Amino acid sequence: MRLEHPVSEHKPRGETIPSLAADTVRIIPLGGVEEIGRNMVAVEFGDDIFVIDAGFQFSEAETPGIDYILPNTGYLEERRHKIRGIIITHGHLDHVGAIPYIIERIGNPPIYTRRLTAEIIKKRQEEFASAQPIVIREVERGEAVKLGATTLRFFNVTHTVPDSMGVIIETPWGDVVHTGDIKLDHTDGVPSEAEVHEFSIFRERKVLLLMMDSTNVDRQGFSIPEHVVFNTLEELITHTNGRIILGTFASQLERLIHIVRVSEEMGRKIVVDGRSMKTNLDIARQLGLLKFKDGSFIQTENMGEYPPEKIIVLATGAQGDEFASLMRIANRAHKYITLTPKDTIILSSSVIPGNERAVQKMKDNLSRQGAHIITYQTSDVHSSGHGNKGEALWLHMQIRPQFFIPVHGYHYMLRVHCDVSIEAGTKPENCIVPDNSAIIEIKNGEKITRLPMKAPSELRVVEGHSVTELSDVLMRDRKALGQEGFAVVVVTVDRRTGKLHKSPDIISRGFVYLRDNKDLMDQTRLIIRKSVETSMKNPRAADLDSARDDLAEAVSRFLLQRTMKRPIVIPVIVSV
Amino acid sequence: MRLEHPVSEHKPRGETIPSLAADTVRIIPLGGVEEIGRNMVAVEFGDDIFVIDAGFQFSEAETPGIDYILPNTGYLEERRHKIRGIIITHGHLDHVGAIPYIIERIGNPPIYTRRLTAEIIKKRQEEFASAQPIVIREVERGEAVKLGATTLRFFNVTHTVPDSMGVIIETPWGDVVHTGDIKLDHTDGVPSEAEVHEFSIFRERKVLLLMMDSTNVDRQGFSIPEHVVFNTLEELITHTNGRIILGTFASQLERLIHIVRVSEEMGRKIVVDGRSMKTNLDIARQLGLLKFKDGSFIQTENMGEYPPEKIIVLATGAQGDEFASLMRIANRAHKYITLTPKDTIILSSSVIPGNERAVQKMKDNLSRQGAHIITYQTSDVHSSGHGNKGEALWLHMQIRPQFFIPVHGYHYMLRVHCDVSIEAGTKPENCIVPDNSAIIEIKNGEKITRLPMKAPSELRVVEGHSVTELSDVLMRDRKALGQEGFAVVVVTVDRRTGKLHKSPDIISRGFVYLRDNKDLMDQTRLIIRKSVETSMKNPRAADLDSARDDLAEAVSRFLLQRTMKRPIVIPVIVSV
């Protein structure tokens, strides 16, 4: 992929951002605090800026036709000489997805991350052929890395992909701690020994500021720990008689590694069906995170050589993605997999909001073929990678920060997280709920404030080959077109007589089905003729612009009145 | 509202449907068995057809620009002389919404329903000025109504709106029973005495066939009974200090009636903000279902005359509907209501799939203003009107049908409901999972089969003033336009020389923002010129059609290659 039309350099607008005082730590969440996704935070003090994560957000209904939404890095672009590095907490797209699109713009600083994450980033970078080489420094849990005058440390966090970590940035006023995405390994709400041990490091540390994942803090208690999911899946893989088709996210790498191990133990051959899953398992294999015997994995096309009860298919598309493996199976469009009533389908995933209809359709079509379907609604076959309120509370108790800024979530979730922090002992005046590009400062380690101005915050988006600023006009037009369609009216007019040369043409798409509406079209032609011939009598009409405006308005008004639809009307008047 | 372009009479296509044998009961679910919504079932035997419910479905992402989807009544239109009546189980739109659009087409048969439902139907019919008068016969629980040779009986069911009922159609081979939407009133899974009493009627009856709501049967156990929700809301209304703003569905009429009673007892003045809620409460008042003292309800604009702790606002828009009361409050666009941190907002509703983003945005904007928000996720302030698996199982045990057809739900849910029925004792071969317009026959009360052919099943939709058959082309175009936009290219060509008169015009909307893409436009003009001038050299070009096709293809290909976008390209060539 080659990026074209990179967005023009950021031009500062509005209020000037004051320069940073020597006694101040500045925190700017550049994304991920008004949404789930596009996570990025800048931490600035002295002459240094540290960037934590560089994720993107998948486009939703509000941004039709857009591929991804990026954090706005305008603030960093103006200060690229200060950037000492990007710390990436783990290898999910909402934490690494923006790297190819922003890294050159902020001066190609080195990336600090753990091994698996590094491989995921490198693999992805291969798709961007013309990009400058990136610099990655691998770090490890417990390691201390000196960047400029500052020491960074890393700690292990439980999430759903190996090598997930949190970061400690040692400032002169205490630690700035960012957990990344986090949940806890626990049994009935009692954190595991490993968790207790990992977070015991904070007993000896003075934490100035904590930033923590807020995705699920509005849920009560503790989330289902992944080991319960492992056990459930192990039971199912062991006791199911026929073929198993298991759908999950390719990003659920820890779970996939576990499933591979159990399947192998149970003598099932493993079929991996889906490119992203293959890529991730391949990286895990290369790094020694995934070990298996020769012959345990087989090709999809060779499935027929084994009895069904000796097969497990790991499939992508549990979200109802149109072209992914599970959807093709559901739609009877899969080259090698045809369901039978003896098959068991395990959907080891939740439904991402917005995908309900697609997943429902997939389940309907799978169940039409008689397969038995197991979902997270009736069995513990999935758990979120983000901790609930109980976990957040426990973590706050261990880290005991002086100041708190919730990240990773919608505003409402961040506000709930502030309440949790206060419940854990943080002073209410020491919690700030940020917006994207808010500039928050901690002065002399004593007082947290939010500046009245913001860092650049216009939405930046990826669409096809382009990185651009989101155009509201474009979005409004697409939404209108997607509901109402458009109509082009073409008129050839005699410039001397002001009369139409022939009957006007009307070309419409997405409006109403014209074949069924001949009367409407005939009446519209009359309206067109009348509008244009009236305009042409007017001496202003020489430039045709006002005639075009009048024509568009007359046709729009008529069509609205007759159909209650508001197609975009494009008037074409050719004078000959 | 005046309906235009009614869909043309149904013309039978495909296989002929055999005529009905004298020993057979025919069941045709015409909607609501592949989706939630547009519920309608036809029950036919002897010379009679009974129609149960006439709902519509709100349009979703798959049908952009469409307002509602209707059941296809083609089968009924051809047999309108046999229709003895429409039985409406309750007054929600997925059960009454289609009435104005279909009733004349099926011969304006009388409607049988209970009092509140009758009023809701009449009120709605007022919006259709040119419609024929409808005939409604009010029936009561326990009443026996003779229609032609057949007796119909009605029983009470628990749902979320008063006067919800199920129906018993007495056939020569036993009862055909349809529950309508149903849940149970219960305490910890033990149904109330009233429920036990109501369903005890089935002890003495021989039920040939049961049709039952499947919406929530894939959920375990019993649903939260409404009296728990009442108690939670009562606690909140009693113990909250400041103003309460309570958002719920206008269709939750039982809950609204209860809230009004409790609020009045606690001395709170009641403000109703939202048209649909006002309409429904007004109907309930007229029928004596809602009683209150003079002065208990106040106008929104008079709220300032009372202290906040003496006020409760009942607001529409808990689904994040753009122009409803709660959203206007969230967006600080409400004329009379401005939030303060002392306000408590209760969202007494779940989130309908597809509305997650809108509701999230609303919660974010409400919480930005500091109000305390209580949702069903953290408190029992809402419960579904549809029973879980435990309730379905209990009902099956009471009704003990010989045959079972699940209705109201997606295919997967219906299949799960069949499993529940079999668990309750129904023979597997006596359960059929239907599709919309499936023709199912019970012969001589002994054997259930599904015919190989279907009743007419094309999607019928309401769009603006029109009732039409859904056009796949239109939907495909709208989806494409909503993502990719369109470009009109206008060329004036000299018919003698085959040369362009002037530089081509390119008008695009929803494609890329042209201002930022001057180069792209210049290059596209070259492509246009080349394509047209090449075409015009060809003698075939006389009719311009092939020149247009070539031009559209050349431009589409070039734009795709340069932008990865596929706008719809409309070529306009005027030869002069």
Q: What are the pLDDT digits (tens) for B210-261?
A: 999 999 999 999 999 999 999 999 999 999 999 999 999 999 999 999 999 9
A213 is known as an active-site residue? yes
Question: Is A99:A106 a contact under the CB 8 Å cutoff?
Answer: no
Q: So what's the pLDDT on residue A14?
A: 55
To test the contact with chain A by mutation, choose from B364, B366, B521 the residue with the greatest count of A C-beta atoms within 10 A, namely B364
Torsion of CA A183, A187, A191, A192, to 10 degrees: -100
Considering only CA atoms, which of B399, B110, B98, B90 is closest in space to residue B253? B90
User: For A132-140, what is the mean pLDDT?
Assistant: 96
State the average pLDDT over residues A391-404: 98
Across the interface, whether the CB atoms of A34 and B466 are under 8 A apart is answered no
pLDDT greater than 50 at residue A415? yes
- Contact residues on chain B for A464, CB-CB shorter than 8 A: 563-565
The confidence score (pLDDT) of residue B7 equals 47
pLDDT tens, A448-480? 999 999 999 999 999 988 899 999 999 999 999
Q: Please give the residue of chain B at the shortest CA–CA distance from A370.
A: B415
CB pair distance less than 8 Å for B465 and A64: no
SS3 B115: helix
Encoded amino acid at B123, one letter: K
| B397 vs B399: CA distance, rounded Å | 6
The one catalytic residue in A386, A396, A408, A417 is A386
CA distance B146 to A562: 45
B119: closest CA of chain A, how far (Å): 28
What is the Cα B450 distance to its own chain's centre?
27
> Per residue in A37-81, pLDDT tens?
999 999 999 999 999 999 999 998 889 999 999 999 999 999 999
AA identity, residue A78: E
Q: Do B483 and A478 touch (CB under 8 A)?
A: yes
Percent of chain A scoring above 70 in pLDDT: 96
The number of beta carbons lying within 10 Å of the beta carbon of residue B239 is 8
User: How close does chain B come to A110, measured CA to CA in Å?
Assistant: 31
Of all residues in chain B, the one with the smallest CA distance to A576 is B576
Sign of CA dihedral B339, B342, B348, B353: positive
**Using one digit for the tens of pLDDT, what is the confidence trace for A206-257?**
999 999 999 999 999 999 999 999 999 999 999 999 999 999 999 999 999 9
> Coil, helix or strand for A164?
coil
Residue A164 pLDDT > 80: yes
| Residue among B61, B357, B505 minimizing CB distance to A353 | B357
Q: For position A6, what pLDDT does the model report?
A: 43
How close A359 comes to chain B (CA, Å)? Answer: 11
Give the ipTM of the model, two decimals please.
0.91
Q: Which residues of B touch A517 (CB under 8 A)?
A: 5
Tell me which residue in B219, B220, B481 faces A485 most closely, judged by beta carbons.
B481
pLDDT of amino acid B206: 97
CA distance readout (Å), A207 to A150, A412, A460, A496, B521:
15, 25, 33, 82, 55
- C-beta atoms of B482 and A65 within 8 A: yes
Please return the burial class of B221, using the count of CB atoms within 10 Å of its CB with bins 0-12, 13-18 and 19+: exposed
Nearest chain B Cα distance for residue A365, angstroms? 8
What would you measure as the largest C-alpha separation in chain B, in angstroms?
A: 92
B-chain residues near A511 (CB < 8 A): 474
| Distance in angstroms (rounded) separating the CA atoms of residues A178 and A170 | 12
Tell me the pLDDT band of A377, cut-offs 50, 70 and 90. confident
pLDDT at residue B245, as a whole number: 97
Instruction: List, in order, residues 6 or more apart from B476 with CB less than 8 Å away.
Output: none
Contacts of A263 (CB under 8 A, 6+ apart): A237, A270, A296, A312
- Reference A136, options A106, A116, A158; nearest CA is A116
Q: Which two tokens stand for residue B242?
A: 């400041």
Q: Quote the pLDDT of residue B5.
A: 41
Task: Please give the average per-residue pLDDT across A276-281, as a whole number.
Answer: 94
Indicate the SS3 state at residue B490: strand
- And the tokens for A68? 């991804």
Distance from CA of A395 to the nearest CA of B (A): 21
For residue B459, give the nearest of B58, B31, B42, B102 by alpha carbon.
B31
CB A233 within 8 A of CB A259: yes
- Predicted confidence at residue B156, as pLDDT, reads 97
Q: Which of A108-117, A169-178, A497-506, B254-263 has the lowest mean pLDDT?
A: A497-506
Catalytic residue among B10, B90, B386, B408: B386
Residue of A nearest to B576 (CA): A576
- How high is the pLDDT of residue A518? 87
A386 classed as catalytic? yes
**Catalytic hit among A94, A163, A181, A213:** A213
**Burial call B65-97: b when 16+ CB within 10 Å, e when fewer:** bbebbbbbbbbbbbbeebbbbbbbbbbbbbbbb
Q: Are B404 and B241 in contact (CB under 8 A)?
A: no
Cβ atoms of B42 and B59 closer than 8 Å: no
Select from B63, B195, B204, B40 the least CA-distant residue to B111: B40
* Positions in chain B short of pLDDT 50: 1-2, 4-10
Q: Is the distance from CB of B417 to CB of B434 less than 8 angstroms? A: no
Q: Which residues of B touch A562 (CB under 8 A)?
A: 4, 465
Q: How many CB pairs under 8 A join A and B?
A: 183
List of chain A residues whose C-beta atoms are within 8 Å of the C-beta of residue B412: 360, 363-364, 366-367, 373
Contact A62 B357 (CB under 8 A): yes
Using alpha carbons, list the distances in angstroms from residue B451 to B50, B430, B434.
Answer: 20, 15, 11
Closest chain B residue to the Cα of A518, Cα to Cα: B5
Q: What is residue A180's predicted lDDT score, i.e. its pLDDT?
A: 98
Residue B542's pLDDT is 62
Q: Which of B410, B465, B483 lies at the smallest CB-CB distance from A563?
A: B465
Mark residue A274 as left, alpha or beta (left: phi above 0; alpha: psi -120 to 50; beta: remaining): left
What integer best gives the mean pLDDT of chain A? 93
Name which of B5, B482, B505 is nearest A481 (Cβ-Cβ): B482
For residue A496, the distance in angstroms to the closest alpha carbon of chain B comes to 15
What's the confidence (pLDDT) of residue B541?
53
B109 touches B84 (CB < 8 A): yes
Tell me which of A364, A475, A507 to substitute to probe the interface with B (most B C-beta atoms closer than 10 Å). Answer: A364
* Contact residues, chain A, for B66 at CB < 8 Å: none
Q: Please answer yes or no on whether A510 and B478 come within 8 Å at the CB atom.
A: yes
Q: How far is A411 from chain B (nearest CA, A)?
A: 5
Beta carbons within 10 angstroms of residue A357's beta carbon: 17
Least CB-CB distance to B563: which of A220, A412, A465? A465
Residues of A in contact with B505 (CB under 8 A): 572
Residues of chain B positioned with their CB less than 8 A from the CB of A507: 570, 572
pLDDT at B352: 84
Task: State the average pLDDT over residues A126-155.
Answer: 94
Which conformational region is residue A330 in: left (phi greater than 0), alpha (psi within -120 to 50 degrees), or beta?
alpha
Of A61, A465, A490, the CB nearest to B564: A465
Chain B residue at shortest CA distance from A356: B353
